[in-house]
Amino acid sequence: MITASTGELLEYLAHVIVEMERYGATILPPDGGDEVDWLRHGDHLIMDVAARLPTVRRSRPTDLVLRERWQSHGLDEWQMVEYGHELRDHELDYRRALHRHDDEYFVRSHGVATHEHCESTMGYETCGHYLGEPASGALDGFLRLYAIWLTGQKPDCSTLRCLG
């Protein structure tokens, strides 16, 4: 499990945003606000960073969202318990996602906690969940999805192992 202090999480979020902007992404503050910050929900901290990737003029947007949920795990210690990093390329009409949530269900049903989604045509799943390599954090998720987007092609979902 990945753990961090409150100060480390503040630095982590700032680092993720700086790196995304370095790659040309435009950060979109949630709910029309001015800044992105950690959202507190009970004993959880939630990261929800939305970005628009650079595209040519008049093309449909490419959106990338990085979400993480961290749970309090002692005095000033947080543990990452869920993530959902998603890429939606509206121009090429596909979706790729890296997920970890509902651990008990996924371990019981599929023997893994992490999974991926791949829709060569957005909204049309040929498999509900694919085997996925765990993302080590938001920056790893961003870089993996950005690399898929940089190919300029729809992903070939048939190369992934379907979990069902």
Within-domain flag for 66: yes
Number of domains making up the chain = 1
Of the two residues 57 and 71, the one the predictor is more confident about is 71
d(CA 126, CA 67): 24
Helices (H) and strands (E) in the chain, counts: 3, 9
d(CA 35, CA 11): 15
d(CA 121, CA 127): 12
Rounded to the nearest integer, the mean pLDDT of the chain is 94
Boundaries of domain holding 31: 3-159
**Is a pLDDT exceeding 70 seen at residue 18?**
yes
pLDDT at 32: 65
pLDDT at 56: 82
**Is a pLDDT exceeding 80 seen at residue 1?**
no
* Residue 12 CB contacts under 8 Å (≥ 6 apart), including other chains: 4, 137, 138
* Residue 22 CB contacts under 8 Å (≥ 6 apart), including other chains: none
Q: What is the per-residue pLDDT across 28-40, written as a single tens digit (0 to 9) for each?
A: 977 766 788 999 9
Whole-model pTM: value is 0.93
C-alpha atoms less than 13 angstroms from C-alpha of 69 in its C-beta half-sphere: 13
Q: What is the per-residue pLDDT across 49-60, written as a single tens digit (0 to 9) for each?
A: 999 999 888 889
The percent of residues in the chain predicted with pLDDT above 70, rounded, is 99
Within-domain flag for 164: no
